[in-house]
Structure 1
Amino acid sequence: MRNITITCLLIYVINILPVAAFEIEFEETFGDNNSVSTIQILSSTDSERFRPVINGFIKRNPELSVHYVTASTTEIYTAIANENTTFDLVISSAMDLQMKLANDGFTKKVTLTGNGNVPNWARWRSEVFGFAQEPIVLLVSKQDFFDLKLPKTRRDLLALMRNNPDIFINRIGTYDPKISGAGYLFSTQDSRQSDTFWRLAEVMGRLNTKLYCCTSKMIKAVDSGELALAYNVLGSYANAELPLDSNAQVIALEDYTQILLRTAVVPLASKRPDLGTRFLDYLISAEGQDILDKLAKLPSLNNFEISKLANRKPIRLDSGLLVFLDKLKRSAFLREWDAALFQN
């Protein structure tokens, strides 16, 4: 009998993870309790978003079950690099942290049956594989922008915030790069794209911007009217979670829209790397990509809407991602960030 079992977090931590366990957000087991084998997946993608993909995989592989654990991108890195956990597949939106895991020898080289389904720009060696794209967008409150012209560029946004402090004071949200690996990636890539980023950060600081761990909380805050805008939000989450009559509106800025890759790696410590590879093969298959697009609402590698975005700037999956993970570079960046955001 197929069912979904939400496993007790305490039992999982005691029996599977080291004593100094990383912080788990949620976990769920999909498939038959009497399955032959269970694939252990650690991911930063919400289980509700990934559910259609997992169900599609189990339909094709009924003898298997999937134990799906979600955590922040930073906690995921910690689990693999520092705690030697034994997951079979690791999925993350923090491309740089995935690259670091591979570069530092924590991932396996794998051979995929559908290797040709992954273009060269979406893979690094035979260790890091992109399977979905993600536009990084601006989210605005319609009620607050009723009498304002919607910004098309970051310069427009900068001018709006400077000229309307009464609307935006205490009502701007963005990622906290200190606790969010994805947020740190977006901010550092922003700083490489344009000098406007630091001017934007300084104005956000003067307006007492609120910092968040994750996109879902920013989406809810804009939709409720608590925030007037949220900067650097995962576009697919916003498009999937917001109802048609939502107060929130998604804007892909035209000066550039960063496009990240959701990536997957098979950890070196995996007890069943064959199963991790099998699931990854399904992710990049025609069926898996179709489910990602249509049911999970996570843009596939060949998503048409992404290809139409004006001035899209894909974040390259290469060793350049490691630059800002250098300890000195990271410390310097976060000091500059603090100086901009927390002004006395």
Structure 2
Amino acid sequence: MCFADFPARLTGILLGLLLSISAAQGFEIEDRRLFEATDERTRLSVISTADLDVFEPIIRAFQASHSDISVDYVVTGTTDLMQALYDEGASFDLAISSAMDLQTKLANDGFAQTHTPTASATLPTWASWRDQLFAFTQEPAVVVVSDRFFPPGEAPQNRDELIAILRANPELFQGKIGTYDVRRSGFGYLMATQDSRNSDAFWRLMEVMGRLDAKLYCCSGDMIRDVASGKLALAYNVLGSYAVAQQNTTDGFQIIEMSDYVNVMSRTALIPRTARNADDARIMLDFLLDLRSRKDLVAASGLPAIDPAALLANPSLRPIRFGPGLLVFLDSLKRQSFLRNWENSLLQN
């Protein structure tokens, strides 16, 4: 039977229902590519917040060892990934995200499957949670500064210095500061809430940025490009791995790890409850967990692997730990309060 067989009114109702169902799948896909296997046996569906050019070397290397697994790689934002799995029940075999708090909530609320890594893929105890959520990188949140505004050796090295420089030169930095719009970015929200727990300087810095009409961004890549071009003087809480990768091909900016403290995020992976191909997801998850043994992939992707020695060598590095503490700022009332304070600080004009 076709639509022509239906009365006009019934056809309208049916079309409305179909449109409603389509609209319900509301998470935004930023990029997508199918990496076809040489001799496809199965297909692995991955939803990820990592840019395609960052993750492609890892997928290619994975397929070199598993030439019968095609990989359908979907790129989305951190909050969209959460929406897809938590609210919409979308079916993906592996979920990779830089928002550790949102991933923790997925696992905590029963949206992840248990996995026991192979012996070669074992991690430090702090890099996994409940055998459901696993870290495979350690990436600092950094400040990126423009060479046009900060000659070598003149960039601020800690938050107090940054606040002092911004306060002393409002005419120079008006409209020239960038940071995450934490209302839109799950990673940005995670970094901001961790900042608020680490130091009172965070709120002083947000107020100064607000008076300078700070520009708000969704993504690290956009901020880095605007700093490199001189459109921005600096960007705060940029993902360090992306900054390093872009510095390899772009001049015009410096990367500063604040000496008072550096929040270190771990990119995490879990196997969603809705996975249809959990077997191959486990194979790829183990491959990711063994990233620290593949220096070639670390170099090609720009994703720093788990490195406990680096954390011991630099006491200013503060890795964000898994656990219930990451869920505190996801409580609706706590989130509303935090965002209200953040808006009062940043949106002063």
User: How far apart in 2 are the matches of 1:35 and 1:147?
Assistant: 52
SS at match of 1:146: coil
Deviations 1:313-339 (A, max 9, x none): 111111110000000000000000011
Of 30, 37, 55, the residue aligned with 1:32 is 37
Of 64, 72, 80, the residue aligned with 1:67 is 72
- Alpha-carbon RMSD: 2.0
| AA aligned opposite 1:224 | S
- Please tell me whether residue 142 in structure 1 is matched to residue 172 in structure 2: no
Counterpart for residue 7 of structure 2: none
- Please tell me whether residue 154 in structure 1 is matched to residue 159 in structure 2: yes
| AA aligned opposite 2:228 | D
User: How far apart in 1 are the matches of 2:194 and 2:294?
Assistant: 27
Q: What is the Cα deviation at residue 120 of structure 1?
A: 0.6
Q: For residues 102 and 19 of structure 1, do their structure 2 counterparts lie closer, same or farther at Cα, with a shift above 3 Å needed?
A: same
Larger radius of gyration: 2
Of 338, 341, 344, the residue aligned with 2:343 is 338
- Please tell me whether residue 279 in structure 1 is matched to residue 284 in structure 2: yes
CA contact (8 A) 2:291 2:305 kept: no
SS at match of 1:87: coil
**TM-score, structure 2 normalization:** 0.90
Q: What is the Cα deviation at residue 287 of structure 1?
A: 7.1
Counterpart for residue 13 of structure 2: none
Counterpart for residue 103 of structure 1: 108
| 178-187 or 104-113: bigger deviation | 104-113
CA contact (8 A) 1:257 1:310 kept: no
Deviations 1:185-219 (A, max 9, x none): 00000000000000000000000000000000000
- Please tell me whether residue 266 in structure 1 is matched to residue 271 in structure 2: yes
Counterpart for residue 163 of structure 1: 168
Q: What is the Cα deviation at residue 143 of structure 1?
A: 1.1
Of 20, 31, 35, the residue aligned with 2:25 is 20
Q: What is the Cα deviation at residue 129 of structure 1?
A: 0.2
User: How far apart in 1 are the matches of 2:187 and 2:339?
Assistant: 14
| AA aligned opposite 1:32 | A
SS at match of 1:22: coil
Query: 1 or 2, which has the higher helix percentage?
Result: 2
Counterpart for residue 194 of structure 1: 199
Within 5 Å, which residues of 2 pair with 1:1-344? 19-32=24-37, 35-114=40-119, 117-146=122-151, 149-243=154-248, 246-285=251-290, 289-302=294-307, 308-344=313-349
CA contact (8 A) 1:142 1:247 kept: yes
CA contact (8 A) 1:139 1:219 kept: yes
User: How far apart in 2 are the matches of 1:147 and 1:262?
Assistant: 31
| AA aligned opposite 1:152 | Q
Counterpart for residue 6 of structure 2: none
Unaligned stretches of 5+ in structure 2?
A: 1-18
| 196-205 or 310-319: bigger deviation | 310-319
User: How far apart in 2 are the matches of 1:144 and 1:108?
Assistant: 49
User: How far apart in 2 are the matches of 1:37 and 1:18?
Assistant: 29
Q: What is the Cα deviation at residue 146 of structure 1?
A: 2.6
Deviations 1:247-273 (A, max 9, x none): 110000000011010000000010111
| 187-196 or 32-41: bigger deviation | 32-41
Q: For residues 215 and 136 of structure 1, do their structure 2 counterparts lie closer, same or farther at Cα, with a shift above 3 Å needed?
A: same
CA contact (8 A) 1:212 1:218 kept: yes
CA contact (8 A) 2:134 2:270 kept: yes
Q: For residues 286 and 79 of structure 1, do their structure 2 counterparts lie closer, same or farther at Cα, with a shift above 3 Å needed?
A: closer
User: How far apart in 1 are the matches of 2:292 and 2:263?
Assistant: 26
Aligned length: 330
User: How far apart in 1 are the matches of 2:128 and 2:180?
Assistant: 26
Counterpart for residue 4 of structure 1: none
| 222-231 or 285-294: bigger deviation | 285-294
User: How far apart in 2 are the matches of 1:308 and 1:143?
Assistant: 32
SS at match of 2:138: strand
**TM-score, structure 1 normalization:** 0.91
Counterpart for residue 5 of structure 1: none
Counterpart for residue 7 of structure 1: none
Q: For residues 298 and 165 of structure 1, do their structure 2 counterparts lie closer, same or farther at Cα, with a shift above 3 Å needed?
A: same
Q: What is the Cα deviation at residue 31 of structure 1?
A: 2.8
Q: What is the Cα deviation at residue 148 of structure 1?
A: 7.9
